[in-house]
Structure 1
């Protein structure tokens, strides 16, 4: 039986925003493609005289154009399908209800579990279970104790045993669930920039002004410019893309696997409406 190997990089942004929260991002590649993509991205950074880590929080006016150049190259890989991007977040308008202490304690596990189980449509990647598909999961951040890391790995590798994945031939080997340093992975840095830009825009941080100021600061303007370029690149894939809702599936569930870029506004099963979380018009 043929084998296929994919790598999924995972990152999370600020947990709580004024309107949207729990931002999780993932980038999927063929594992055999990893070194080649990293090489191209690393060479672009060297060309731009950037030798440290690129992160959304580091965007400034001085580096605005460099970040735009880098993200354009990154999206070349997205458009071609060599890198698939998924962004997941929650709307504060839908406030979870009936949460137990266990739910709250394991929120990190539960949301990553949902992201990895559903966002890429992995159960549709292997029609008829012809191949064996193995997923390497690399996270920029993991729980802070050995016990929690072990529980997290057990949780993720159990995805393969769920009814939804029965007969799919998709596996999350426990030994291939690991923490990595984003400083050493340029794919993860590109993901961080996209994820941070979505948190920034959906939470209206592009409107922020320093206390007492009449105009927005230079860093805010630089971040807005980078976001606008990212949005333009996304709309080259999905015309009229709405960043705050679920990306559509005009061809059915297979789109969850095949589309190169998607957003998922995760909604809890049980929720109550929080009117205070609605964006002012």
Structure 2
């Protein structure tokens, strides 16, 4: 068995929330069906190019809504898990304001490490058999030396007590950078992560400075976000997108839940933030 995790991120700073990391996890036994159903929808609706949140427009709105419905149908069938992590500026800025330049430079990979280690609750996923975790990252915007060091830290997660107890292994060659154009699951993760960024930063309220009206694309994106939120609420009624999702007094729900958010606070870092990329 393998867990395949497709990871997307945006380091764009929003007015209220920043550093968004999104990921979709698919078990190897479901991969063929998941990809087939998503790709078939795209083909049937002439969505031949790469699907991205930044490409959402009014003419394509219904097609994007349809694709998200296919994704969430799969999620409710327990064939995909989706996680989104982000930071609230008002909280994180108070903590990181005294960070050195070096610490700020390292934050991209430090946050990614936390996301992979904790967001999916992998330590609660034990199946009684060895499971390999494969990771597909949208191409990194950093130098190869930093990327290789980051991959080394991800690879070493398999030696942590949590991963050993859950019989999880990570092969170095299974930590790869990919082009999102070639991976429909990654494209869907981008759309969902982008929608959450859009809403939390109140971009749905932005108006054209000339007309003082919202643009057609903004209105279309808001409609797509509302449909995504509606489907999220099917996994957890009244889902609050700006807060960390609760566990209902059962930590195993960090794994079992089909969809979760994590509002990450820097003080939650469980490894030395200076040594992570400097050792």
Q: One fold, TM greater than 0.5?
A: yes
Query: What's the secondary structure of 2:242's corresponding residue?
Result: coil
Q: Distance in 1 between matches of 2:51 and 2:136?
A: 18
Q: CA deviation at 1:152?
A: 1.4
* Counterpart position of 1:50: 47
Query: What's the secondary structure of 2:58's corresponding residue?
Result: coil
2:20 pairs with 1:26: no
* Counterpart position of 2:251: 253
Q: CA deviation at 1:33?
A: 2.2
2:249 pairs with 1:217: no
TM-score norm. by structure 2 comes to 0.91
After TM superposition, list the pairs within 5 Å mapping 1:220-235 onto structure 2. Answer: 220-235=218-233
* Counterpart position of 2:144: 146
Contact in 2 for aligned 1:194/1:230 (Cα 8 Å): yes
Q: Distance in 2 between matches of 1:68 and 1:100?
A: 43
One of 43, 58, 62 as aligned partner of 1:65: 62
After TM superposition, list the pairs within 5 Å mapping 1:57-96 onto structure 2. Answer: 57-94=54-91, 95=93, 96=95
Contact in 2 for aligned 1:131/1:169 (Cα 8 Å): yes
2:33 pairs with 1:36: yes
Q: CA deviation at 1:155?
A: 1.4
Instruction: Write out per-residue CA displacement over residues 151-204 of structure 1, whole angstroms, 9 at most, x where no aligned residue.
Output: 111011122223443433212221100011111111111111100000000000
Contact in 1 for aligned 2:16/2:201 (Cα 8 Å): yes
Count of residue pairs brought into register by the alignment:
266
* Counterpart position of 1:275: none
Contact in 2 for aligned 1:21/1:90 (Cα 8 Å): yes
Q: Distance in 1 between matches of 2:164 and 2:183?
A: 33
Contact in 1 for aligned 2:163/2:169 (Cα 8 Å): no
After TM superposition, list the pairs within 5 Å mapping 1:154-169 onto structure 2. Answer: 154-169=152-167
Q: CA deviation at 1:37?
A: 1.2
Q: Distance in 1 between matches of 2:148 and 2:118?
A: 22
Query: What's the secondary structure of 1:49's corresponding residue?
Result: coil
* Counterpart position of 1:12: 9
Query: What's the secondary structure of 1:269's corresponding residue?
Result: helix
Q: CA deviation at 1:143?
A: 4.5
**Unpaired segments of 5 or more residues in structure 2?**
270-279
* Counterpart position of 1:113: 113
Contact in 2 for aligned 1:14/1:199 (Cα 8 Å): no
Q: Distance in 2 between matches of 1:161 and 1:150?
A: 18
Q: Distance in 1 between matches of 2:43 and 2:120?
A: 31
Q: Distance in 2 between matches of 1:77 and 1:178?
A: 25
